[in-house]
Structure 1
């Protein structure tokens, strides 16, 4: 974990944030972040404008003044992020930056730790993806086997956790968990399978309508802080499920995920069958 040393406004009006590691292992992560971010440029990535190395201590300077993380605004009981359209736009922008990392950046680049805590927001909730400490540049292949696994277990794809298999589909899986978390508004449980099974139970009945869900005594799982017609959010539950398919070969690419956000008719191609 890093600590934010402070926010500054330069004479030219530019807002910057300075961060530093809490322990020595984070120095290596920050150097990895430097080596990757200096090669990348996208409107939804935190912009690294400089760094300082003093002995074994690293400080990074970002051109961004963080107002909050997505994790904070989702789980804050007094959250003002009640407009579903704003949450939708945040997810869409993160999907687009992952298309950049996977298909357009010098790479592909696997972020490796997609989660709500690594999405920073400004005062108008414009999102940027941060924390590239465990990111990896890989060759174009379905799977690259790695000796060590990094990331946040609750969002981690099963093939990475169990087989150390790293691919772009790892980020797709984490993004799917992020989508479901953003819709339901409760923290991802320590046992990730609990969340996916719960969502599958709900999604199995979506086509029968929310009225049937009530008859089955399944409570409405949508975050009560979201101001949205529940029937209009079914598509995004399905997107979350398609991204969290247990088989990485059945998950969509990030480009296909963006297409699903923009064209609901493309979702059905990827909706997984419920596992018995």
Structure 2
């Protein structure tokens, strides 16, 4: 196996790189410094903490997919964010996007400040991004080390070897002690033994010590540190470190690096004197019986306290698990690897669509069940919490016009929803996509009516008021017999029964979003009513809400075109050309539906009907009653009103419930 080592002290490394690679490195480093907290390197009067690499490695096995390096850079950026937190000296991260797994870890020495830690990390990243051959690499500095791989074993097993990575590295200094050699070796040997024995026994697997050499009035400095492993592995690694460093004597400096530990001694201070560790109790203990008895009593009290806390914790955990089981009743938990196989490792050929929250893949489970797998992309720390809320929410919602949740999965940074598969895809495909013009009027009316019933169920028939916030044509899925099912209501927020609106961060789609929500963040169920009205106009016209209707005299968006056509009684000019052969009854029916859609787009929101009222309006034989229809806000500043109907309608509440649940 060929192992490629980067000689970081030689200019040949840079000369051998391609210009395009250097340009990419420059861009990545520039982005890191522009989009993260600025870090100012702090000097240390007692140390030379320059970030000069002492060892590095770049693997020789080239990754099969270019996404590997994209994932690597994202993972390193996540680690940097963690290291910016005060007190964090060890961090891991992973990115498994598109099946290209990247696992990374970074360790700073405990004696460095946060700014020194991040500065060292940045120096390491600037080196690692140059590694374009291997699927694993690392770089070691005195202040830190960074490593990434396509496997995670090295987190807990530092001795794992793949593609040559894992070989210990132990450089010795090139200057011999000036004081009596025997005295120097005796003092430093005792220092190294203490480091070896105390590091695995310390609470944080880190020890920093000093020793005076009286004959020369000198001080020796040493540390031992085990990043992210257990005490047993730390002890094994520190035993090796001791043997190697002892072999450096009588030189005044030595280092030992392995994936499991780092150890160093030097006659030059590299940490402050007040940063040393008291190892007296760790190594020697106390022979007095009084402390032993006192310690025993304290230990028993502590044990009893821990037992009580553990019992309470178990009780609460069991109650929580019971509640979560109830929350997720009906939704199956799928294994991540099963979803990988079912989607052919999330291959491009299985992508059904891409939305604001992630990609949707076609999957075949158990070689027969066809489902849709929605892969959610992590953008911030709250995504997992939102995902769990989505699962708990939609696992309870069952309605013929709402897309059903079949299962879910949560694996590391990958979050999935397993949903019903809709063979006809989304509605927009039939309005302006590949199957444009194939829907007749009866099919379009049934789609409109089904969307209305689904929204009314979300607003009124569930124990929470669920507001979708993003109703649009590509969020309406169609069954094989063209029945609509509303998708992507998992990002909805709950509206308490006693509130009429809440202010929240905008999360809709411009062109479908009500003015009060888009401009002021005011969210109510009337926001969905507005979006429904826009979708109805799209279904009737076969045009996108943001498309411009162009002719010699005007350039109108969909909503304005609908209003002008209705106002001038030229509604036939508005409808889809594929629907021109309508009889008189169908034309009158469509005119009524246009009126309902325009009612839904009124402003202010109080002028809009509820979705329960819309369902009743859509029923055959139902009158719209006496209403004042106002020009929609987005169309023109001049307000115009048209009075429709003359008979006041009365609707019984039980009639509403009956229609909604048919």
> Does the pair score TM above 0.5?
yes
Return the alpha-carbon distance in structure 2 between the equivalents of residues 197 and 109 of structure 1: 29
Match of 1:57 in 2: 414
Query: Deviations 1:156-208 (Å, cap 9, x if unpaired)?
Result: 011111221111101000000011111011111179x93322211111133xx
Q: TM-score, normalised by structure 2?
A: 0.37
Pairing 1:193-272 to 2, within 5 Å after superposition = 194-206=557-569, 213=570, 220-226=573-579, 227-229=581-583, 230-263=587-620, 265-272=622-629
**Distance in 1 of aligned mates of 2:419 and 2:426:** 15
C-alpha contact 1:154 1:188 (8 A) present in aligned 2 = yes
Question: Which of 344, 360, 368 is matched with 1:4 structurally?
Answer: 360
1:142 to 497, 500, 513: 500
- 2:371 is matched with 16
For this pair of structures, how many residues does the alignment match? 263
Q: Quote the offset at 1:35 in angstroms.
A: 3.1
* 1:158 corresponds to: 515
1:183 to 540, 543, 549: 540
Structure 1 range deviating more: 101-110 or 34-43: 34-43
Contact 1:4 1:18 in 2 (8 A): yes
Contact 1:27 1:57 in 2 (8 A): no
Gaps of 5+ in 1: 207-212
Secondary structure class of the residue paired with 2:629: coil
CA distance in 2: counterparts of 1:86 and 1:247, whole angstroms = 31
- Larger mean Cα displacement after TM superposition, 131-140 or 226-235: 226-235
The structure that is helix-richer by fraction is 1
Partner in structure 2 of residue 210 of structure 1: none
Structure-2 change in CA distance of 1:135 and 1:190 (3 Å): farther
Would you say 1:113 and 2:464 are equivalent positions? no
| Higher RCO (CA-CA < 8 Å; seq separation 6+) | 1
1:99 Cα deviation from its structure 2 partner: 1.1
Change (3 A) 1:225 1:245: same
Query: Shift of the alpha carbon at 1:33?
Result: 2.7
Structure 2 unaligned blocks of 5 or more = 1-354, 549-555, 632-638, 641-662
CA displacement 1:36-92 (0-9 Å, x = unmatched) = 212211111111111111102101111333421001111136435331101110110
**Distance change >3 Å, CA 129–CA 271, structure 1 → 2:** farther
Q: Which residue, out of 394, 407, 419, partners 1:37?
A: 394
Q: Deviations over 1:252-272 (max 9, x none)?
A: 011110111104543243451
The match for 2:160 is none
Distance 1:54 1:123, change over 3 A: same
1:273/1:80 CA distance change after superposition, 3 Å:
closer
Structure 1 residue 18: deviation in Å? 1.3
Instruction: Check whether the contact 1:67–1:122 (CA below 8 A) recurs between aligned residues.
Output: yes
Tell me the distance in 2 between the aligned counterparts of 1:257 and 1:48: 26
Q: Secondary structure at the match of 2:371?
A: strand
Larger Rg: 2
